[in-house]
Structure 1
Amino acid sequence: MAHQDIYTIDTGFVRPRFDAAYLVVRDGHGAFIDCGTNHAVPRLLGALAEADIDAARIDWLILTHVHLDHAGGAGELIAQLPNARLVVHPRGARHMIDPSQLWAGAMAVYGETVMEQAYGRLRPIPQERVVEAPDGHIVDLRGRLLHCIDTPGHARHHLAIYDSYANACFTGDTFGLSYREFDTDQGPFILPTTTPVQFDPDALHASIDRLMALKPEAMYLTHYGRVEDVERLGAKLHAMIDATVAVSRQADGVPDRHARLVEGLTELYAARTTEHGWNGDLAALRHWLGMDIELNAQGLGVWLDRQRA
């Protein structure tokens, strides 16, 4: 289904409704925003059939940032799109042209077997097909202007994309995580992602404020989908960032800090989802958020260590 000629594509990464890419359409041409992993490429090409667009009429692949759940399939996808160019933050461009460092860094965390299974090998993108997008860069999709906004806080190479036609932002990971399994009659539930290695709460607050100042009608999150009620969600996200920082400070200096961070985040998310009217138990919370809790705890540990550096 499309809303304002924006198609949400479930990339299939990890589980259903976890990782989204988007297809924006204008006058028979299109732009993908994020792409998931190599394994998502058939799904993205399938979306072209749904939108009745030929692969040759995709003009752009825009990446919010180069983390592999957003960009791992970029090389494979670009190879299937003969006229598309890649748009990426200047800090991320070199990793798309030569992904060896990106691969090595992720492999050090996950190991080669998991990397092959989860992501597939990263395919380099020819330099002449890569466009660096600094803050304020505009991608012109047949007159539909897509504004690139530098939004650090989750990653220093992060862009959000403002679609002035739809009055909506594609936020990558800047505007947090909102899984449909936690929707209640109060609306979506939202929490920030502090995953390694560049979490910066002050920068994240500022980036969220910058997006909110645009007064968008909706946010399109990678994790997951279109959310409205933007003012409420923005306020909740600011409060959750502050609460997350408080959890990390309470854990700092204690024995087995990582375990305490995991415990503190679990307690925080359990309390806030209960306030939100979600009636799942702790086992259900861990089922849906266990991976995020682990990665967020790792990111908070890196942030705490950086404060002392």
Structure 2
Amino acid sequence: MRDRNGITIIDTGYVRPGLCAAYLVESGGRAALIDCGTATCAQTVLDAIDAAGVDRAAVDWLMVTHVHLDHAGAAGPLIRALPNAQLVVHPRGAPHMIDPTRLIAGAKAVYGEAMFERDHAGMRPVPEARVVVAEDGHVVELAGRPLLCIDTPGHALHHYSVWDADTHSWFAGDTFGLSYREFDTAMGPFVVPTTSPVQFDPAQMHASIDTLLARAPESIRVAHYGEVDDCVRLGADLHEQIDAMVTLARAAQGAPDRHARIVDGLTRLYTARAHDHGVEDAPARVAEVLGGDIEINAMGLEVWLDRAAR
């Protein structure tokens, strides 16, 4: 549903409802799509654009905060279906959108062939002529509504976040963590950092969170999932958890069961925090909703440990 600021949240349908969002931003009869889900989500996103009453030819920009496939995998199919859209992508991500061979290979290595075919099949390259490289500070003009791209590494080196001055808010991709609505309580939203492979860096993530908070945003829209406020509290929560995650990962370094120890540590950390946040039956809820993210976060922490050890 379109809000008063001309922003429509689109559930891309990736894996389950309420997991992965894209955002349609409208201004002056034109539109920008921020993030787009996996290739298998392309038709769902197109249907949502149609349902919002936006002509596909009015979509001028497809902005991907980074090139992980749940954010950018549908770019190739969508560019072909949105005749006037240009893809706005970080300089480090642009080559992988033009030739996604390495992205596909990396996703298969992380998820396996069967899961890749289920969730990511149908990726296509984006024609180079329709790619706009967004250096730090790049401004996308959306019919008089400037959308500012700011580098925010930590989750990935090819990550930018989008500042919308009209709403004094960010579209933050994965930089401001995961905030699933299943964990909302009377205390507000709940947040968890995302350290998925292969470029997690704690110092960069801390700095990027501070970059977002420095503008005193009224809200932050995350990809997983939706709009959150109470940004200062959530930022502090993220900082605390990043440090705790790094500590437990380092404690597991060298152990033969390193992965299992990190998974257990993350599960305990998130469960304790969910309980303190007032989430009912926190152990079961964390296992059900965050189980996959815990596995991926553990893998990202391990890649970081191995890189730091070299």
TM-score calculated relative to the size of structure 1: 0.98
Output one character per residue of 1:261-294: Cα deviation in whole Å (capped at 9) or x when no partner.
0000001011111111111242331111100110
**Whole-angstrom CA distance in 2 between matches of 1:292 and 1:300:** 12
- Residue 294 of structure 2: aligned partner: 293
Q: Please name the residue that 2:131 is paired with.
A: 130
Secondary structure of 1:65's counterpart equals coil
Show the counterpart of 2:147. 146
1:113 Cα deviation after fit: 2.8
Match in the other structure for 1:72: 73
Q: Does 2:15 correspond to 1:14?
A: yes
**How far apart in 1 are the matches of 2:299 and 2:41?**
27
User: CA–CA distance in 2 between the matches of 1:150 and 1:75?
Assistant: 23
CA distance in 2, matches of 1:194, 1:110: 15
Q: Does 1:36 align with 2:45?
A: no
- The corresponding residue for 1:236 is 237
Aligned CA RMSD, in angstroms, stands at 1.0
**Equivalent in the alignment of 1:277:** 278
Distance (whole Å) between structure 2 residues aligned to residue 45 and residue 219 of structure 1: 24
Kept after mapping to 1: 8 A contact 2:28/2:144:
no
Match of 1:117 in 2: 118
Count of matched residue positions in the alignment of Structure 1 and Structure 2:
309
Task: Spell out, residue by residue over 1:228-272, the C-alpha distance to the aligned partner (whole angstroms, 9 max, x if none).
Answer: 111111111111111111111221222311100000000101111
State the alpha-carbon separation in 1 of the partners of residues 222 and 212 from structure 2. 13
Match of 2:2 in 1: 2
- Name the amino acid aligned to 2:8: Y
TM-score by length of 2: 0.97
Per the alignment, residue 221 of structure 1 pairs with 222
**Bigger mean CA offset, 120-129 vs 139-148:** 120-129
Counterpart check, 1:205 vs 2:206 = yes
One-letter amino acid of the counterpart of residue 132, structure 1: V
Residues 79-90 of structure 1: pairs in structure 2 closer than 5 A: 79-90=80-91
Contact 2:155 2:195 (8 Å CA) reproduced: yes
My pick for the range that moved more, 126-135 or 111-120, is 111-120
In structure 2, the partner of 1:170 is 171
1:105 aligns with 2:83: no
Q: Secondary structure at the match of 2:157?
A: coil
3-state SS of the aligned residue for 1:48? helix
Secondary structure, in 3 states, of the residue corresponding to 1:2? Answer: coil
Q: Which residue of 1 aligns with 2:54?
A: 53
Retained in 1: the 8 A contact 2:267–2:294?
yes
- Off by >6 Å, runs of 4+ in structure 1: none
Q: Give the C-alpha shift of residue 117 in structure 1.
A: 1.2
The question of whether the paired residues in 1 share the 8 Å contact of 2:40 and 2:122 is answered with no
> How far apart are the structure 2 equivalents of 1:121 and 1:39?
7
Q: What CA deviation, in whole Å up to 9, does each residue of 1:161-185 have, x standing for no partner? A: 0111111101011000000000000
Tell me the CA shift for residue 14 of structure 1. 1.2
Q: Any gaps of 5 or more consecutive residues in structure 1?
A: none
Decide whether the 8 Å contact of 2:275 with 2:282 is kept in 1. no
**Structure 2 stretches of 5 or more lacking a match?**
none
Q: Is the 8 A contact 2:185 2:277 kept in 1?
A: yes
- Post-superposition CA distance 1:41-66 (Å, at most 9, x none): 22222222333211001000000000
